């Protein structure tokens, strides 16, 4: 596949669009006034992305790689796939909310790629010198760029990210198997502008500061913050050739368990804001030691000290234990591990 920003290639035409993007806060805010949507494909080497951003006035300013691209209107990709932790007694699942990737690009095809060991809310630090080796990108402007004298249609983008680059540390990676799911989200940053002296200028507030940008996303976060990986969408990989068969989405029990772990996490964060430390009582969080999750009985435990906690969920018919801690790290182990 030639990556040049033209998304009218045969395979792209067969691929399904996402729903149109919504405001990052979801139903709390009006729907975007400009349409945005995306597509995904894959093969044994690359995870491919295409996006269509309608815009009557396409502009960009940044031209240097790894500049902070969201200063311009941009398109962003977030991926929480898998990692390279290696312990015999613990299995870290895909999309555990730690070790994830962010990619941004503007209409000049200027890019910024970065790696985060954990979300900013948990003390994460961006690694901006991390590079997506083998990255391919393309932009096609449907009109002109930085020309206020005409009306544009918008711009389209193509991105190809090698699976070999969706890793950090040992360099180990795997090609997704049929049915594998990644946490993925897309974001479009958009500014309101005026035309002054023949140039696009961001609109200002009464104090002369730039008005905040809009954040339009595939999977709304509920807050103005993309760094809640547990709230991203799920992208499921299929071995079926694009356009040949409608593949049903798989509702994995593990995802239901992780939703419940995140419920415990959020309630612990609410608790610690009002108290001197985390609670070790599930009842304080409105939960019990036995809960029905994914149509089966599960046993919950909670161990806490002042500054940290570990919550676990174990189904009654399995030795698998799912855990989450105060940093939002999710992992899987077994009660019969030696």
pTM of the predicted structure, to 2 decimals: 0.94
pLDDT of residue 291: 94
Q: What is the mean pLDDT of residues 5-19?
A: 97
Residue 71 has pLDDT above 50, yes or no: yes
| Residue 82: band (very low, low, confident or very high) from pLDDT cuts 50, 70, 90 | low
More confident residue, 119 or 82: 119
Q: What is the pLDDT of residues 260-276, one digit of tens each?
A: 999 999 999 999 999 98
Nearest CA among 86, 160, 81, 70 for reference residue 115: 81
Gap between the Cα atoms of 301 and 323, Å rounded? 9
pLDDT of residue 96: 86
Q: What is the pLDDT of residues 102-131, one digit of tens each?
A: 999 999 999 999 999 999 999 999 999 999
Write out the two tokens for 168: 């950090």
| Percent with pLDDT over 90 in the chain | 86
DSSP 49-75: EEEEEE-SS------STTS-GGGSSEE
The neighbouring-strand residues paired with 183 are: 80, 234
Q: What is the mean pLDDT of residues 200-219?
A: 97
Contact 195, 148 (CB under 8 A): yes
Q: How many of the other CB atoms lie within 10 Å of CB of 260?
A: 19
Q: Over the chain, what is the mean pLDDT?
A: 93
Q: What is the pLDDT of residues 294-331, one digit of tens each?
A: 899 999 999 998 899 999 999 998 899 999 999 999 99
């Amino acid at each position: 596949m030639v990556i040049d920003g033209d998304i009218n290639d045969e395979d792209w035409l067969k691929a399904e669009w996402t729903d149109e993007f919504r405001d990052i806060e979801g139903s709390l805010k009006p729907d975007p006034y400009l349409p945005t949507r995306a597509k995904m494909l894959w093969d044994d080497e690359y995870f491919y992305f295409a996006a269509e951003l309608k815009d009557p006035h396409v502009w960009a300013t940044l031209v240097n790689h790894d500049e902070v691209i969201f200063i311009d209107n941009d398109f962003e990709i977030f991926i929480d796939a898998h990692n390279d932790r290696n312990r015999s007694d613990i299995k870290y699942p895909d999309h555990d909310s730690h070790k994830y990737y962010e990619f941004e690009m503007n209409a000049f095809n200027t890019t910024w790629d970065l790696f985060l060991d954990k979300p900013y809310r948990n003390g994460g630090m961006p690694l901006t010198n991390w590079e997506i080796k083998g990255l391919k990108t393309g932009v096609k402007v449907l009109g002109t760029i930085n020309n206020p004298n005409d009306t544009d249609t918008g711009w389209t983008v193509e991105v190809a990210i090698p699976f070999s680059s969706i890793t950090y540390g040992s360099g180990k990676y795997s090609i997704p198997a049929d049915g594998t799911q990644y946490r993925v989200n897309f974001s479009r940053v958009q500014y309101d502008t005026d035309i002054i002296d023949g140039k696009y200028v961001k609109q200002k507030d009464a104090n002369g500061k730039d008005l905040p940008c809009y954040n339009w996303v595939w999977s709304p976060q509920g807050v103005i913050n993309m760094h809640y990986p547990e709230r991203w969408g799920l992208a499921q990989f299929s071995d079926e050739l694009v356009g040949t068969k409608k593949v049903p989405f798989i509702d994995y029990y593990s995802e239901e368990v992780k939703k419940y772990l995140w419920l415990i996490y959020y309630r612990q964060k609410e608790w610690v804001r009002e108290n001197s430390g985390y609670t070790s009582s599930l009842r304080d969080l409105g939960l019990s030691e036995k809960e029905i999750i994914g149509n089966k009985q599960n046993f919950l435990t909670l161990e806490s000290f002042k500054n940290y906690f570990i919550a676990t969920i174990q189904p009654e018919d399995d030795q698998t234990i799912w855990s989450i801690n105060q940093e939002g790290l999710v992992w899987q182990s077994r009660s019969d591990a030696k």
